[in-house]
Structure 1
């Protein structure tokens, strides 16, 4: 049986923010491939992240280190450090792994990512718009390491995503973009305006649930952030999260030891830095709902929510969300990010969502070309989406 690999039609050059003025000699890319070197990198990593207004907790050294400790088994660390002269200008946290995709065993080079990672991107200094050029040069020159690049769950408006896409195209590759589900968020302003903008039905349900719960006794909202107080709080919170449908489905934090280790470890490091916010809703001193949030910069990120199903008639998850959002408004934050995808319950709280995209670049190896054909040509036809490649915007 002959396998014929057709090169995809050349697409129109995608638009992007790449300029051609940087001198290649000014830049160099170094790699961090072992855990001890990753630990040593923390001070420089933190300085770079702290200098950015739009940085994410998921790009922090604390998050990256904890993720690797929890989920890195069987993979190879491959963090890129981009320097201009001797000054660190960008960090790209990558890893190498062997993956089985559509029956093929292929080499993946991509972000440290799994279900627990809400968002990825390059960590790039404000004055380093040219950093993507040496990054791409390194990736291209080391193509023997990978069959495909997997830049997953990036903000759709990421300058790094667009720049790598353009650079790959200009060098004869066929970069592919796939959209993923958007992530809802609330833009914070005046509480009365926001609350009044919720649907009348949702506001009525919240009021009714609160009144009925108050009929059982005192209703209390609790926030815990001090490092010395989080041990028991996490124990109680994880039990609440596992008590609902997540425990039955095996997706609760306590259902997997690596997942439990990740959320415990990151909570300790986040609390040490003043980022952690654990919230509870209590009825008569009994904790009945739990929220695991991170306050980073002037934004809050809700990572996990759980509740006691014995109180489901009182909508404890929604009531806790109401209290948590109101507290974020009162603190004068700029945004509450629900993290994750646009689940139906989140859309009761906001009409805003942030689109995300995955960028794939396939190597010119046999495996890379075969994977590209299978993933973006053959399977699309089998699913009824057989068509000519759409030309990206731009010229």
Structure 2
């Protein structure tokens, strides 16, 4: 039986650090923007005046899912807006769910939010296609509206550093060569490689 806990104390960031990091390791859909480090830094920078709402979904005591949220006044109105921690400065926000628990975590979190008090508007932005929360089919949901926003830019990278450099213009290749030599002089033995390159 899964239980849901809602933590509103900012000290929960520190208390959950190790469990959060372990959950991200077990969550194949997690991105940089779901890491403890990103969320904690965002909260320190932008959390002032906001009320934290960390939803923990636990299975036999183990953290199976986490939805980092906050409530704030919306655009100077009396409306209380619920949003994901990281909104505005991050791409691809979402619930964090252990492999195989995605649908259950999303459904349980959304069901909890439908019953919850303390906010007037749930504004869950920057969800990528296929997001755990976006994909959740939840019966009896309150009024929902999906609005496409700006896409996250991306670029396909070649398989090797040399192939990447070959795609650059002459001047940029020259500047890059200068900086590579400077790096080698400053840090002998340093090597530039794409992730996954041997």
Same fold (TM over 0.5): yes
**Matches of 1:188 and 1:32, distance apart in 2:** 43
**How far off its partner does 1:149 sit?**
0.8
8 Å CA contact retained: 1:32, 1:38: no
TM-score, length basis structure 1 = 0.43
Partner of 2:47: 72
**Matches of 1:209 and 1:29, distance apart in 2:** 52
- Pairing 1:207–2:182 present: no
Q: Of the candidates 91, 107, 129, which is equivalent to residue 156 of structure 1?
A: 129
- Pairing 1:189–2:53 present: no
Unaligned runs of 5+ in 1: 1-25, 223-280, 286-325, 334-395
| CA displacement 1:352-380 (0-9 Å, x = unmatched) | xxxxxxxxxxxxxxxxxxxxxxxxxxxxx
| CA displacement 1:114-155 (0-9 Å, x = unmatched) | 44223311110012131122212211111x311111111111
1:70–1:208 distance in 2 versus 1, CA, 3 Å:
closer
Q: Of the candidates 172, 175, 179, which is equivalent to residue 220 of structure 1?
A: 179
The structure in which a higher percent of residues are strand is 1
**Matches of 1:156 and 1:69, distance apart in 2:** 28
The structure in which a higher percent of residues are helix is 1
TM-score, length basis structure 2 = 0.81
How many residues are matched?
A: 189
Partner of 1:134: 108
Unaligned runs of 5+ in 2: none
- Helix, strand or coil at the partner of 1:181: coil
1:84–1:332 distance in 2 versus 1, CA, 3 Å:
closer
Within a 5 Å distance, the mapping from 1:220-369 to structure 2 comes to: 220-221=179-180, 327-329=192-194, 331-332=195-196
Farther-moved stretch of structure 1 (51-60 vs 129-138)? 51-60
**Matches of 1:80 and 1:53, distance apart in 2:** 19
Q: CA RMSD in A?
A: 2.8
**Matches of 1:124 and 1:44, distance apart in 2:** 12
- Helix, strand or coil at the partner of 1:92: strand
**4+ residue runs of structure 1 moved beyond 6 angstroms?**
none
